[in-house]
Amino acid sequence: MCVGRLIAAPIGHGGDPAGALAAFDRVRRPRCRFLARQAVRIARYGFGPGPRQAVRNALVRLVPANLAVSAGTRVTGWTPPDAVPGV
């Protein structure tokens, strides 16, 4: 969906492919960096077998559901833009 809105649509209307790709990168890079940083943070809590995993799982079970949902909203609640200004 995002690729279609940010790359295919502008090119389909006669836009410059290089400009559409640059706009896509400008819009998507901050979100991708955020997700990559979050993945590194989460990985530090231990996904491999052993005591770290057991501790992590016990702590996650203690998190109230509403906090878990609100924490996930930043990732799952994202909506791609309809268009990129200047393209």
Domain ranges (residues) in the chain: 1-44, 46-76
The pLDDT, as a whole number, for residue 18 is 92
Residue 65 to residues 58, 60, 69, 73: CA-CA distances in angstroms?
14, 10, 6, 12
Residue 78 has pLDDT above 80, yes or no: no
Which tens digits make up the pLDDT trace of 32-61? 999 999 888 877 776 667 787 888 888 889
Rounded to two decimals, the pTM is: 0.61
Work out the pLDDT band at 73, boundaries 50, 70, 90: confident
DSSP H helix total and E strand total for the chain: 5, 0
